[in-house]
Amino acid sequence: MMLDRRDFTLLQRSVNETMKRVQGLEARPQTLKVGQQELRQGQQELGQELQALRVGQHRMEQTLQQILAKLN
């Protein structure tokens, strides 16, 4: 069986497209790892912000109690 120029060109395009797909699939695990790291960092930052909000709320409660105590 002989391949003519047109068959070879089609085959080469198919191989190139397949290689692009394979490279895209190979890059996905790395992309997922980066995404997971960013999520962990975001969760950690949110946890710190939540803790700061709780501390601020506690201080506000104490201040309000002091004000109420002085008013009575």
* CA–CA separation, 26 and 19 (whole Å): 10
Closest CA to 20 of 31, 9, 12, 8: 12
* Residue 4 banded pLDDT, cuts 50, 70, 90: confident
Asked if residue 31 is part of any domain, the answer here is yes
| Domain housing 67 | 20-72
* CA–CA separation, 64 and 6 (whole Å): 84
Asked if residue 35 is part of any domain, the answer here is yes
Asked if residue 36 is part of any domain, the answer here is yes
Domain count, the chain: 1
Asked if residue 25 is part of any domain, the answer here is yes
* Residue 64 banded pLDDT, cuts 50, 70, 90: very high
pLDDT digits (tens, 9 = 90+) for 18-49: 999 999 888 888 888 999 999 999 999 999 99
Closest CA to 50 of 40, 60, 42, 62: 42
Asked if residue 1 is part of any domain, the answer here is no
Asked if residue 11 is part of any domain, the answer here is no
* CA–CA separation, 44 and 60 (whole Å): 24
